Structure 1
Amino acid sequence: MSRRDQIRMTEDEVREYLAVQKVINVASIGPNGRPHLAPLWYFPHEDGVATWTYGTSQKAKNFRRLPEATVLVEDGDSYEKLRGVSFEAGVEIVEDVEEVTRMGTALMQRYSGANPGDPATAELKAFIAGQAAKRVGLVFRPTKVVSWDHGKLGGTY
Protein backbone atom coordinates (compact mmCIF):
# COMPACT_ATOMS: atom_id res chain seq x y z
CA MET A 1 0.00 0.00 0.00
CA SER A 2 1.36 3.43 -0.92
CA ARG A 3 1.97 6.16 1.67
CA ARG A 4 -0.76 8.16 -0.06
CA ASP A 5 -3.24 5.33 0.50
CA GLN A 6 -2.13 4.99 4.12
CA ILE A 7 -2.85 8.61 5.01
CA ARG A 8 -6.11 9.05 3.07
CA MET A 9 -9.16 9.62 5.29
CA THR A 10 -12.31 7.59 4.80
CA GLU A 11 -15.54 9.42 3.90
CA ASP A 12 -16.66 9.14 7.54
CA GLU A 13 -13.32 10.53 8.75
CA VAL A 14 -13.63 13.46 6.33
CA ARG A 15 -17.15 14.22 7.65
CA GLU A 16 -15.93 14.00 11.27
CA TYR A 17 -12.95 16.23 10.48
CA LEU A 18 -15.09 18.90 8.82
CA ALA A 19 -17.48 18.76 11.79
CA VAL A 20 -14.77 19.82 14.27
CA GLN A 21 -12.64 22.26 12.29
CA LYS A 22 -13.58 25.94 12.25
CA VAL A 23 -12.06 27.70 9.22
CA ILE A 24 -12.00 26.91 5.52
CA ASN A 25 -9.74 28.63 3.03
CA VAL A 26 -11.65 29.18 -0.19
CA ALA A 27 -10.05 29.93 -3.54
CA SER A 28 -12.06 31.49 -6.35
CA ILE A 29 -10.82 33.05 -9.57
CA GLY A 30 -10.69 36.84 -9.57
CA PRO A 31 -11.49 39.11 -12.51
CA ASN A 32 -7.79 39.22 -13.46
CA GLY A 33 -7.61 35.41 -13.68
CA ARG A 34 -5.59 35.03 -10.48
CA PRO A 35 -6.70 33.04 -7.44
CA HIS A 36 -8.58 34.97 -4.76
CA LEU A 37 -8.11 33.26 -1.40
CA ALA A 38 -10.29 33.93 1.65
CA PRO A 39 -10.68 32.29 5.07
CA LEU A 40 -14.30 31.70 6.09
CA TRP A 41 -16.29 30.27 8.96
CA TYR A 42 -18.50 27.43 7.75
CA PHE A 43 -20.85 24.67 8.75
CA PRO A 44 -21.01 21.11 7.39
CA HIS A 45 -23.77 20.86 4.78
CA GLU A 46 -24.76 17.68 2.95
CA ASP A 47 -21.45 16.19 1.70
CA GLY A 48 -19.73 19.58 1.65
CA VAL A 49 -19.84 22.83 3.54
CA ALA A 50 -21.79 26.09 3.48
CA THR A 51 -21.37 29.66 4.67
CA TRP A 52 -22.52 33.16 3.92
CA THR A 53 -20.83 36.33 2.71
CA TYR A 54 -21.75 39.85 1.70
CA GLY A 55 -23.45 39.84 -1.69
CA THR A 56 -21.08 42.56 -2.91
CA SER A 57 -17.89 40.79 -1.74
CA GLN A 58 -15.19 39.89 -4.24
CA LYS A 59 -15.76 36.17 -3.66
CA ALA A 60 -19.50 36.51 -4.38
CA LYS A 61 -18.68 38.39 -7.59
CA ASN A 62 -16.16 35.71 -8.53
CA PHE A 63 -18.66 32.89 -7.91
CA ARG A 64 -21.32 34.63 -9.98
CA ARG A 65 -18.85 34.68 -12.87
CA LEU A 66 -17.45 31.17 -12.29
CA PRO A 67 -19.24 29.01 -9.68
CA GLU A 68 -16.24 26.83 -8.89
CA ALA A 69 -13.90 26.78 -5.89
CA THR A 70 -11.09 24.94 -4.23
CA VAL A 71 -11.56 24.56 -0.48
CA LEU A 72 -8.84 23.72 2.06
CA VAL A 73 -9.18 22.79 5.72
CA GLU A 74 -5.98 21.79 7.51
CA ASP A 75 -4.32 21.54 10.88
CA GLY A 76 -1.21 20.15 12.55
CA ASP A 77 1.98 21.77 13.74
CA SER A 78 4.43 19.00 12.91
CA TYR A 79 4.71 16.50 10.06
CA GLU A 80 3.34 13.54 12.01
CA LYS A 81 0.28 15.60 13.03
CA LEU A 82 -0.63 17.04 9.62
CA ARG A 83 -4.26 16.49 8.67
CA GLY A 84 -6.43 18.08 6.07
CA VAL A 85 -9.06 17.98 3.39
CA SER A 86 -8.89 19.79 0.08
CA PHE A 87 -11.72 19.65 -2.39
CA GLU A 88 -12.74 21.09 -5.70
CA ALA A 89 -16.37 22.16 -5.59
CA GLY A 90 -19.25 23.52 -7.53
CA VAL A 91 -20.66 26.58 -5.77
CA GLU A 92 -24.34 27.36 -5.38
CA ILE A 93 -25.17 30.96 -4.57
CA VAL A 94 -28.28 31.23 -2.38
CA GLU A 95 -30.08 34.59 -2.58
CA ASP A 96 -33.45 33.77 -1.01
CA VAL A 97 -33.43 35.86 2.19
CA GLU A 98 -35.33 33.22 4.17
CA GLU A 99 -32.79 30.55 3.26
CA VAL A 100 -29.86 32.93 3.85
CA THR A 101 -31.37 33.61 7.30
CA ARG A 102 -31.45 29.86 8.03
CA MET A 103 -27.85 29.54 6.86
CA GLY A 104 -26.74 32.52 8.96
CA THR A 105 -28.47 31.03 11.99
CA ALA A 106 -26.77 27.66 11.51
CA LEU A 107 -23.41 29.37 11.08
CA MET A 108 -23.70 31.66 14.10
CA GLN A 109 -25.06 28.89 16.33
CA ARG A 110 -22.10 26.70 15.44
CA TYR A 111 -19.61 29.36 16.48
CA SER A 112 -21.49 30.31 19.63
CA GLY A 113 -21.47 26.68 20.82
CA ALA A 114 -25.21 26.08 20.41
CA ASN A 115 -26.49 22.73 19.19
CA PRO A 116 -27.89 22.52 15.66
CA GLY A 117 -31.63 23.12 15.79
CA ASP A 118 -31.56 24.93 19.14
CA PRO A 119 -33.86 27.95 19.17
CA ALA A 120 -31.97 31.13 18.31
CA THR A 121 -31.80 33.77 21.01
CA ALA A 122 -33.56 37.10 20.43
CA GLU A 123 -30.15 38.79 20.17
CA LEU A 124 -28.99 36.32 17.50
CA LYS A 125 -32.25 36.65 15.55
CA ALA A 126 -31.89 40.44 15.54
CA PHE A 127 -28.28 40.25 14.36
CA ILE A 128 -29.09 37.81 11.56
CA ALA A 129 -32.17 39.78 10.49
CA GLY A 130 -29.94 42.82 10.08
CA GLN A 131 -27.41 40.88 8.03
CA ALA A 132 -29.40 38.44 5.85
CA ALA A 133 -30.63 40.94 3.26
CA LYS A 134 -27.03 42.05 2.58
CA ARG A 135 -25.65 38.53 2.30
CA VAL A 136 -25.78 35.48 0.07
CA GLY A 137 -25.37 31.88 1.05
CA LEU A 138 -22.58 29.82 -0.48
CA VAL A 139 -22.94 26.05 -0.73
CA PHE A 140 -19.78 24.16 -1.70
CA ARG A 141 -20.51 20.74 -3.23
CA PRO A 142 -17.34 18.66 -3.62
CA THR A 143 -16.56 17.17 -7.01
CA LYS A 144 -13.08 15.87 -6.09
CA VAL A 145 -11.79 15.28 -2.54
CA VAL A 146 -8.21 14.77 -1.37
CA SER A 147 -7.47 14.10 2.31
CA TRP A 148 -4.53 13.27 4.52
CA ASP A 149 -3.93 12.27 8.11
CA HIS A 150 -0.24 11.73 8.82
CA GLY A 151 -1.15 10.43 12.27
CA LYS A 152 -2.09 7.19 10.51
CA LEU A 153 1.61 6.58 9.85
CA GLY A 154 2.28 6.08 13.55
CA GLY A 155 5.20 8.54 13.64
CA THR A 156 7.09 6.95 10.74
CA TYR A 157 7.98 8.73 7.53
Structure 2
Amino acid sequence: MDETRPAGPQRRGRRIMMTDEEVDAFLREQRTCRVATVSPDGRPHVGALWFAWDGSSLWLYSITRSRRWSDLREDPRISVVVDSGEAYGELRGVELSGSAVFVGEAPRTGEPCPELAEAERIFPVKNFGLDEMPHDGRHAWIRLTPESVVSWDFRKL
Protein backbone atom coordinates (compact mmCIF):
# COMPACT_ATOMS: atom_id res chain seq x y z
CA MET A 1 0.00 0.00 0.00
CA ASP A 2 3.02 2.31 0.15
CA GLU A 3 2.39 3.38 -3.45
CA THR A 4 -0.90 5.02 -2.38
CA ARG A 5 0.72 7.22 0.24
CA PRO A 6 1.23 10.90 -0.60
CA ALA A 7 4.62 11.90 -1.98
CA GLY A 8 6.91 11.54 1.01
CA PRO A 9 5.77 10.37 4.42
CA GLN A 10 2.71 11.76 6.18
CA ARG A 11 4.13 14.87 7.86
CA ARG A 12 1.57 15.85 10.44
CA GLY A 13 0.81 13.32 13.11
CA ARG A 14 3.52 10.78 12.37
CA ARG A 15 3.13 9.52 15.92
CA ILE A 16 -0.52 8.68 15.38
CA MET A 17 -0.26 7.50 11.77
CA MET A 18 -1.47 3.94 11.13
CA THR A 19 0.79 1.38 9.48
CA ASP A 20 -0.27 0.00 6.10
CA GLU A 21 -1.43 -3.17 7.87
CA GLU A 22 -3.50 -1.15 10.35
CA VAL A 23 -5.09 0.88 7.52
CA ASP A 24 -5.96 -2.33 5.68
CA ALA A 25 -7.51 -3.97 8.77
CA PHE A 26 -9.42 -0.80 9.69
CA LEU A 27 -10.90 -0.38 6.21
CA ARG A 28 -11.92 -4.05 6.06
CA GLU A 29 -13.78 -3.84 9.40
CA GLN A 30 -15.57 -0.48 9.02
CA ARG A 31 -18.84 -0.19 7.12
CA THR A 32 -19.66 3.51 6.63
CA CYS A 33 -17.66 6.23 4.94
CA ARG A 34 -18.24 9.89 4.13
CA VAL A 35 -17.82 10.73 0.46
CA ALA A 36 -16.92 14.28 -0.59
CA THR A 37 -17.47 15.56 -4.14
CA VAL A 38 -17.57 18.95 -5.84
CA SER A 39 -20.45 20.03 -8.08
CA PRO A 40 -19.84 21.93 -11.35
CA ASP A 41 -20.62 25.26 -9.63
CA GLY A 42 -17.98 24.53 -6.97
CA ARG A 43 -20.33 23.58 -4.14
CA PRO A 44 -18.98 20.75 -1.98
CA HIS A 45 -21.18 17.79 -1.14
CA VAL A 46 -20.60 15.16 1.56
CA GLY A 47 -22.73 12.09 2.09
CA ALA A 48 -22.50 8.81 3.99
CA LEU A 49 -22.30 5.53 2.11
CA TRP A 50 -21.43 1.89 2.74
CA PHE A 51 -18.26 0.62 1.08
CA ALA A 52 -15.99 -2.35 0.55
CA TRP A 53 -12.17 -2.35 0.63
CA ASP A 54 -10.31 -4.97 -1.43
CA GLY A 55 -6.82 -4.15 -0.18
CA SER A 56 -6.03 -1.56 -2.84
CA SER A 57 -9.31 0.11 -3.86
CA LEU A 58 -12.39 1.41 -2.10
CA TRP A 59 -15.64 0.32 -3.78
CA LEU A 60 -18.76 2.49 -3.45
CA TYR A 61 -22.20 1.24 -4.51
CA SER A 62 -24.00 4.49 -5.25
CA ILE A 63 -27.47 5.41 -6.43
CA THR A 64 -27.01 6.58 -10.02
CA ARG A 65 -29.55 9.38 -9.61
CA SER A 66 -27.73 10.90 -6.62
CA ARG A 67 -25.95 14.22 -6.46
CA ARG A 68 -22.75 12.28 -5.71
CA TRP A 69 -23.06 10.37 -8.99
CA SER A 70 -23.74 13.47 -11.09
CA ASP A 71 -20.94 15.42 -9.37
CA LEU A 72 -18.45 12.65 -10.13
CA ARG A 73 -19.60 12.41 -13.75
CA GLU A 74 -18.62 16.07 -14.16
CA ASP A 75 -15.53 16.07 -11.95
CA PRO A 76 -14.06 12.71 -10.83
CA ARG A 77 -12.13 14.17 -7.88
CA ILE A 78 -13.21 12.42 -4.70
CA SER A 79 -12.20 12.30 -1.06
CA VAL A 80 -13.48 9.70 1.39
CA VAL A 81 -13.15 9.58 5.17
CA VAL A 82 -13.67 6.43 7.23
CA ASP A 83 -13.48 7.06 10.97
CA SER A 84 -14.52 5.69 14.34
CA GLY A 85 -14.35 6.50 18.03
CA GLU A 86 -16.32 8.59 20.50
CA ALA A 87 -13.86 9.86 23.10
CA TYR A 88 -10.79 11.84 22.00
CA GLY A 89 -8.40 9.02 22.86
CA GLU A 90 -10.42 6.55 20.73
CA LEU A 91 -10.49 8.55 17.49
CA ARG A 92 -9.01 6.87 14.44
CA GLY A 93 -9.58 7.11 10.74
CA VAL A 94 -8.37 7.15 7.17
CA GLU A 95 -8.80 9.75 4.43
CA LEU A 96 -8.43 8.50 0.85
CA SER A 97 -8.32 10.86 -2.11
CA GLY A 98 -8.07 10.45 -5.86
CA SER A 99 -10.25 10.08 -8.93
CA ALA A 100 -13.47 8.11 -9.16
CA VAL A 101 -13.75 5.45 -11.86
CA PHE A 102 -17.15 4.05 -12.88
CA VAL A 103 -17.08 0.27 -13.30
CA GLY A 104 -19.75 -1.92 -14.90
CA GLU A 105 -23.10 -0.92 -16.30
CA ALA A 106 -25.05 1.93 -14.73
CA PRO A 107 -27.35 1.14 -13.15
CA ARG A 108 -25.96 -2.28 -12.32
CA THR A 109 -28.13 -5.21 -13.38
CA GLY A 110 -25.63 -8.00 -12.77
CA GLU A 111 -24.14 -8.41 -16.27
CA PRO A 112 -20.88 -10.38 -16.13
CA CYS A 113 -18.02 -8.03 -15.24
CA PRO A 114 -14.81 -9.72 -14.03
CA GLU A 115 -13.49 -6.40 -12.65
CA LEU A 116 -16.39 -6.39 -10.15
CA ALA A 117 -16.00 -9.99 -8.95
CA GLU A 118 -14.10 -9.16 -5.74
CA ALA A 119 -16.18 -6.09 -4.83
CA GLU A 120 -19.41 -8.04 -5.38
CA ARG A 121 -18.06 -10.89 -3.24
CA ILE A 122 -17.01 -8.66 -0.30
CA PHE A 123 -19.74 -5.99 -0.27
CA PRO A 124 -22.91 -8.13 0.24
CA VAL A 125 -21.33 -10.24 2.99
CA LYS A 126 -20.04 -7.19 4.87
CA ASN A 127 -23.06 -4.94 4.47
CA PHE A 128 -26.12 -7.16 3.94
CA GLY A 129 -25.09 -10.51 5.44
CA LEU A 130 -25.73 -12.08 2.01
CA ASP A 131 -23.57 -14.36 -0.12
CA GLU A 132 -24.71 -12.80 -3.41
CA MET A 133 -24.83 -9.19 -4.53
CA PRO A 134 -28.42 -7.98 -4.96
CA HIS A 135 -28.96 -5.68 -7.96
CA ASP A 136 -31.88 -3.28 -7.76
CA GLY A 137 -31.43 -1.39 -11.03
CA ARG A 138 -30.76 1.86 -9.13
CA HIS A 139 -27.14 1.52 -7.97
CA ALA A 140 -23.79 1.19 -9.74
CA TRP A 141 -20.13 0.91 -8.82
CA ILE A 142 -17.53 3.60 -8.27
CA ARG A 143 -13.93 2.59 -7.61
CA LEU A 144 -11.45 4.80 -5.77
CA THR A 145 -7.86 3.63 -6.00
CA PRO A 146 -6.37 6.28 -3.72
CA GLU A 147 -3.64 8.62 -4.88
CA SER A 148 -3.13 9.72 -1.26
CA VAL A 149 -3.87 8.11 2.08
CA VAL A 150 -3.72 9.92 5.42
CA SER A 151 -4.47 8.10 8.68
CA TRP A 152 -4.69 8.78 12.39
CA ASP A 153 -5.11 6.68 15.51
CA PHE A 154 -5.31 8.73 18.71
CA ARG A 155 -5.10 5.52 20.74
CA LYS A 156 -1.32 5.69 20.05
CA LEU A 157 -0.93 8.90 22.07
Alignment correspondent of 1:88: 97
> How far 1:26 sits from its partner (Å)?
0.3
Unaligned runs of 5+ in 2: 1-10
CA RMSD in angstroms comes to: 2.3
Match for residue 22 of structure 1 among 24, 27, 31: 31
- The structure-2 alpha-carbon separation of the partners of 1:104 and 1:59, relative to structure 1 and needing over 3 Å to count, comes to farther
State the partner residue of 2:83: 74
Offset of 1:75 from its aligned partner? 1.0
Question: In structure 1, how many angstroms separate the alpha carbons of the residues matched to 2:12 and 2:43?
Answer: 32
Secondary structure of 1:42's aligned partner: strand
What amino acid is the match of 1:19?
R
For structure 1, the 5+ residue unaligned runs are none
What letter is aligned with 2:92?
A: R
Paired with 2:127 and 2:145, the residues of 1 have a C-alpha distance of 22
Of 92, 102, 127 in structure 2, the residue corresponding to residue 111 of structure 1 is 127
Aligned length: 140
Identity %: 28
TM-score normalised to structure 2 length? 0.78
Contact preservation (8 Å) 1:51, 1:104: no
Specify the SS of the correspondent of 2:40: coil
Match for residue 47 of structure 1? 56
Name the structure 1 match of 2:141. 137
Larger radius of gyration: 1
| Partner AA of 1:136 in structure 2 | A
CA-to-aligned-CA distance 1:84-117 (integer Å, 9 cap, x gap): 1012121111233424985456422212345xxx
Pick the structure with more helix per residue: 1
TM-score of the superposed pair, with normalisation by structure 1: 0.78
